[in-house]
């Protein structure tokens, strides 16, 4: 299984600045990173893994989606972006076997080349390339701190819209005061 040491060695080999952070308590899923690190969810990323069925020959493959902790991308958006006929969350044993990470603690780094990886476009657009984000390392006691620009470069993740666009605030029109409805002359 891949772990923090595997990631650390790979990043050192590529001379990529990073930090392996020891967590104050073990986590079961990457969604617990904000609490463990004392950071907002927008700085903690989770890699969701989906089992996909190809449109034409019905081949099966896995795809990943990198989103902020606590968020679940629209499966329809993932399906559309990877060109699949059907998409559903992958089973834990399949995630473990294919990614070599513990399910729930999948890092977006060192995933199989045949596994398409998407990243929520807002992660890229809403922060500076030098901002540091944190992600799982495959083990419950550590997290990886890495610059957004390096993460994007090393993963080749495709930025895309994985959530519906935020709705504009609706105009609330208060009912008019009946006294104001009177026209002059009456």
- Domains annotated for the chain, with CATH where assigned, are 4-162 (3.90.960.10)
Take residue 56 and report the two structure tokens written for it. 């034409």
Is the pLDDT confidence value at 186 over 50? no
Take residue 173 and report the two structure tokens written for it. 């029109």
- For the entire predicted model, the pTM comes to 0.86
pLDDT score, position 165: 77
Q: Which residue, chain included where needed, has tokens 């199989």?
A: 112
Instruction: Tell me the pLDDT band of 184, cut-offs 50, 70 and 90.
Output: very low
């Amino acid at each position: 299984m891949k772990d923090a040491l595997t990631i650390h060695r790979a990043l050192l080999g590529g001379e990529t600045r990073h930090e392996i952070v020891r967590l104050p308590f073990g986590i079961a899923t990457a969604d617990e990173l904000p609490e463990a690190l004392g950071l907002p969810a927008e700085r903690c990323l989770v890699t969701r893994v989906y089992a996909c069925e190809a449109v034409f020959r019905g081949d099966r493959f896995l795809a990943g989606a990198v989103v902020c902790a606590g968020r679940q991308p629209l499966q329809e958006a993932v399906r559309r972006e990877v060109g699949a006929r059907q998409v559903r969350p992958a089973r834990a044993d399949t995630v473990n076997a294919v990614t070599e990470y513990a399910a729930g603690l999948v890092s977006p780094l060192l995933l199989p080349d045949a596994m398409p990886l998407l990243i929520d476009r807002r992660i890229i657009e809403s922060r500076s390339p030098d901002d540091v984000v944190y992600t799982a390392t495959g083990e419950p006691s550590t997290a990886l701190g890495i610059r957004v620009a390096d993460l994007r470069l090393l993963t080749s993740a495709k930025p895309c819209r994985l959530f519906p666009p935020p709705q504009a605030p609706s105009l609330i029109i208060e009912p008019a005061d009946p006294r104001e409805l009177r026209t002059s002359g009456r």
